[in-house]
Amino acid sequence: MKLENIIVATDFSPQSDSAIRHGCTIAGVAGASIRVVHVVETPADEERLEAAREAVKQWHVTDEGRFAREIEACAGAGRDRIPETVDATSTAEGLQLIVDKHGADLGA
């Protein structure tokens, strides 16, 4: 089986940094794309979501800077290094949305 798309979830912890490095190594060897995903857990109901909207926007801005460092650490790994932030009511739901949207041959 040829690996084309690798998805690695991050919460920006040292443990997820390790998973990203591992995913980048695999992507480099396989010539695959790597998508590093952070899920921002958001409230399910509209009223609470509206109250959290400004905080969610700020998390997205903060994620951009964090992703820049993580993606730079993957320099030379694989075809594409793609950061993505997704809003969902749970981490599992957010990751499933990404897998459904982009497909994955390997997830970490």
pLDDT one digit per residue (tens) for the chain, 108 residues: 688 899 999 888 889 888 888 888 888 888 898 898 989 887 677 776 677 677 777 777 777 777 777 777 776 666 788 888 888 889 999 999 999 998 888 676
The Cβ-side half-sphere exposure at 20, using a 13 Å CA radius, reads 26
Domain 5-107 has CATH 3.40.50.300: no
Single pTM value for the model: 0.77
Q: So where are the chain's domains?
A: 5-107
**Dihedral of alpha carbons 108, 99, 89, 82, sign:** positive
